[in-house]
Amino acid sequence: MNTAPDRPLTRNIHRGAPHFDIAAYERADGYRAVRDTLGKTDPAAIVHMVTESGLTGCGGGGFPTGLKWQLMPSAAQRPGPRYFVVNADEMEPGTFKDRLLLEGDPHQMIEGIILSAYAVEANMSYIFIRGEYVTAIERLSTAIAEATAAGLLGENILGSGYNLSIQVHAGAGRYICGEETALLNSLEGHRAIPRAKPPFPQISGLWGCPTIVNNVETICNIPHIVRYGAAWYRSLGINGGVGTKIYGVSGRVNHPGAFELPMGTTLHDMIEHHAGGMKTGYELRAVLPGGASTAFLPGDQLDVSMTAQAMAAHGTRLGTGTAIVLDDHTCPVGFIANLQQFFARESCGWCAPCRDGLPWVERILKSIEAGTGMIDDLDTLAEMTGNLGPGRTFCALAPGAMASLQSGLRYFSAEFTRHIETRACAWT
Amino acid sequence: MSIVEAQPALDPTERAEIRNLIGHYPTARAAAIDALKLVQQRRRYIGDNLLAEIAHLLGLPAAELDGLATFYNLIYRKPVGQTVILLCDSITCWITGRDHLAQHIERRIGIKPGETSADGRFTLLPIVCLGHCDHAPAMMANDVLHGNVDPATLDAMFDATPLP
Ligand SMILES: NC(=O)C1=CN([C@@H]2O[C@H](COP(=O)(O)OP(=O)(O)OC[C@H]3O[C@@H](n4cnc5c(N)ncnc54)[C@H](O)[C@@H]3O)[C@@H](O)[C@H]2O)C=CC1
Ligand SMILES: Cc1cc2nc3c(=O)[nH]c(=O)nc-3n(C[C@H](O)[C@H](O)[C@H](O)COP(=O)(O)O)c2cc1C
Ligand code: SF4
Ligand code: FES
């Protein structure tokens, strides 16, 4: 079992087979990286290795993980509690990659946390997981109990002198809790509204202490980088990407699902070869490449490789890497109205432009969809995409909402106008 | 003024469990969500008197705990039915026909989103993407996830759930 896997994140996940308990996980070389590292490798060396690997955050922001860890003051510089927090809030519409990792291989998650927390010298870790993920919550709790019984968690782990506790904290359902600073407020028992950044959580996070917040998928990469090295990790990517990525696609394709592929795989390749192409009778019109907060990519531009850089060059973002397909039997106006309904409902209400603007956008779109819109409404919508754009609101929720609207107004302008002129939706 | 009757007070076990949850965190208020969920698990919803009791244990003003409770989608401050149906209304489920499922529910048991059936068996609530988009349309019914939901799935559930 010592050959480096080319699909490290999902190597233990087999459809239809039960997930690994600790014995099976260890038989498959699991916790090897922990056993080889704790008390033997300097935490700073792991941070260095992660930096060299080129791993970037998989929660949607794409910030370099090693750099984020480096920006945390060391335990010597800032004595006192330090926290490592797992962002398992996954509520972005169209996103289902973290669930796969949490349910499919819970011990990989735990091993990733142990190595990451060790690297940033934290002795306490919270897994902030959305309350609806009941199966994942159960499996993680069992995995933590198994790892504790095996001496892999708790005091003086494997005689290394290092202590770590992990606590699963199930949320109560609110999209904004996925924003890292709102998450920290929620965890502290405050209303989940974002905090001003800077200071970033690395400097002042949970209860004012240095804190790292990372996405589930980001952390699941760590054991493999530690075990097989930065150069190996980089070599997994193609077309300028590094490592692998859990991509996914939903909508009217033959095999919707999540797929671990080389980072840099093209959208076309994923949809045609891994998701089996469009269902008979349906054509692909456009794609939201990385969840509800990303801009449309028109159907004739699918040859783009799914890296942050290539997506940005095409006017959109990689986001969470899980794509949603808009097909030719689905009304684009209704599609965008559904997205805006989500964002309007989930706005935390902290800043006025988002709190008041999103419901307004939703009402206008619903009226256009219902055939009661006016031509001036299109100008209002365009104006709103500016007013709620990047830098105009307290957090990235509202700009994320505007991404699909702004690109949709451009790509589907004929559809918008037709709804208004004919006073009807041709799809219903 | 509340038209809802008070629920029985917290029993000693519940109080002990809440104190135990408080012990998991550096501050008592951090246990607020855990405590609300613990009580809701047994009582189905958090009425005013329970809210006040939990707030007292956490050392918070009741109004502040209410501010938290009402912020979250999964804390119910009003009575709900025996089975809470959370029907995803996010994008992929919308594409794949969740509106038709909502209509089917209304035809079969006469409730719209936010309503509870007259016999108290079902409450229908919309929910954000359940992370099950590859099996859209999706729903949860009392913590059990269902994918590729069709009218037959719903009918089977309606027929299988006994009257309270
Ligand atoms: N996974 C999901 O379910 C969802 C993901 N998202 C994604 O979240 C992204 C926005 O998240 P944000 O945290 O607001 O993005 P961001 O780009 O501000 O931050 C990303 C990460 O890098 C860190 N960071 C950024 N600049 C830094 C600096 N100068 N110094 C130190 N650390 C720094 C932040 O602390 C954070 O952890 C969007 O791109 C969106 O795609 C949005 C909604 C849901
Ligand atoms: C409204 C909003 C919701 C978010 N939801 C999530 C989420 O559910 N999961 C996640 O990992 N990141 C989410 N993020 C991004 C986090 O703020 C943060 O960037 C991320 O957890 C950092 O981890 P990473 O560097 O490993 O990607 C969200 C951001 C915003 C603005
Ligand atoms: S942009 Fe929206 S979600 Fe973000 S802080 Fe403002 S009101 Fe809250
Ligand atoms: S959109 Fe319904 S489960 Fe994701």
CA–CA separation, B99 vs A8, rounded Å?
39
**Looking at the structure, do residues A200 and A260 belong to the same domain, yes or no?**
no
CA–CA separation, A148 vs A151, rounded Å?
5
pTM: 0.97
B78 domain-assigned: no
pLDDT digits (tens, 9 = 90+) for B54-94: 999 999 999 999 999 999 999 999 999 999 999 999 999 99
pLDDT at B3: 58
Minimal-distance CA residue to ligand 1 atom 15 = A61
8 A C-beta contact, residue A385 and residue A406: yes
Of A248, A292, A330, the CB nearest to B134: A248
CATH number for the domain that contains residue A226: 3.40.50.11540
Q: Which residue has the tokens 């986001």?
A: A319
**Whether the predicted pLDDT of B1 surpasses 50:** no
CATH number for the domain that contains residue A373: 1.20.1440.230
B65 domain-assigned: yes
The full length of chain A comes to: 428
ipTM of the complex: 0.96
Strands ordered across the beta sheet of A211-215: A165-170, A124-129, A83-88, A211-215
8 A C-beta contact, residue A253 and residue A271: yes
CA–CA separation, B109 vs B41, rounded Å?
24
CA–CA separation, A121 vs A44, rounded Å?
9
SS3 B157: helix
Of the candidates B71, B98, B118, which is a domain's last residue?
Answer: B71
Phi, psi of A330 (to 5 degrees): -115, 135
* Interface A-B: count of C-beta contacts within 8 A: 135
B93, closest residue in chain A (CA to CA): A251
8 A C-beta contact, residue A102 and residue A94: no
Cβ within 8 Å, pair A172-B130:
no
Q: What is the 3-state secondary structure (H, E, C) of A240-289?
A: CCCCEEEEEEECCECCCEEEEEECCCEHHHHHHHHCCCECCCCCEEEEEE
Q: Which atom of ligand 4 is nearest to A96's Cα?
A: 4
CA–CA separation, B118 vs A148, rounded Å?
48
Tokens of B26: 């550096």
One-letter amino acid of A46: I
A166: left (phi over 0), alpha (psi -120 to 50) or beta: beta
Q: Within a 13 Å sphere around the CA of A79, how many CA atoms are in the beta-carbon half? A: 0
pLDDT at B112: 97
Instruction: Give the DSSP letter string of A146-157.
Output: HHHHTTSSBSSG
**Looking at the structure, do residues B115 and B60 belong to the same domain, yes or no?**
no
- Please state, in angstroms and as integers, the Cα–Cα distance from residue A25 to each residue in A109, A217, A322, B131, following that order: 12, 18, 27, 25
pLDDT digits (tens, 9 = 90+) for A347-395: 999 999 999 999 999 999 999 999 999 999 999 999 999 999 999 999 9
SS3 A213: strand
**For residue A213, how far is its CA from the centre of ligand 2 (angstroms)?**
9
Instruction: Give the DSSP letter string of B89-112.
Output: -SHHHHHTTHHHHHHHHHHHH---
Kindly list the residues of chain B whose beta carbon comes within 8 Å of any beta carbon in chain A: 24-34, 36-37, 58, 67-68, 71-75, 86, 89-92, 94-96, 127-136, 140, 143, 145
pLDDT at B113: 97
B111 domain-assigned: yes
Tokens of A291: 């969840």
**Looking at the structure, do residues B115 and B146 belong to the same domain, yes or no?**
yes
CA–CA separation, B153 vs B147, rounded Å?
9
Q: Where are the alpha helices (DSSP H) in A38-93?
A: 43-53, 65-70
Of the candidates B23, B47, B71, which is a domain's last residue?
Answer: B71
The Cα of B133 is separated from the nearest Cα of chain A by a number of Å equal to: 6
Residue A287's H or E segment, with its range, is strand A284-288
Mean pLDDT of all residues belonging to chain B: 95
B4 domain-assigned: no
B77 domain-assigned: no
B17 domain-assigned: yes
pLDDT at A2: 60
Domain count, chain A: 3
Tell me which residue of A417, A405, A410, A406 sits closest to A374, measured CA to CA: A417
A155 domain-assigned: yes
Q: Which residues of chain A fall short of a pLDDT of 70?
A: 1-2
CATH number for the domain that contains residue B145: 3.40.30.10
**Looking at the structure, do residues A161 and A17 belong to the same domain, yes or no?**
yes
**Looking at the structure, do residues B64 and B88 belong to the same domain, yes or no?**
no
8 A C-beta contact, residue B52 and residue B62: yes
Question: Going along chain B, which residue ranges are E strands?
Answer: 83-88, 122-127, 139-141, 144-146
Residue B21 lies in domain: 12-71
CA–CA separation, B85 vs B23, rounded Å?
33
- In sequence order, the 6+-apart residues with CB closer than 8 A to the CB of B6 are B47, B48, B49
End-to-end CA distance of chain B: 27
pLDDT category of residue B111 using cuts at 50, 70 and 90: very high
Chain A residues touching residue B129 (CB < 8 angstroms)? 91-95, 292, 342
Of the candidates A188, A207, A235, which is a domain's last residue?
Answer: A235
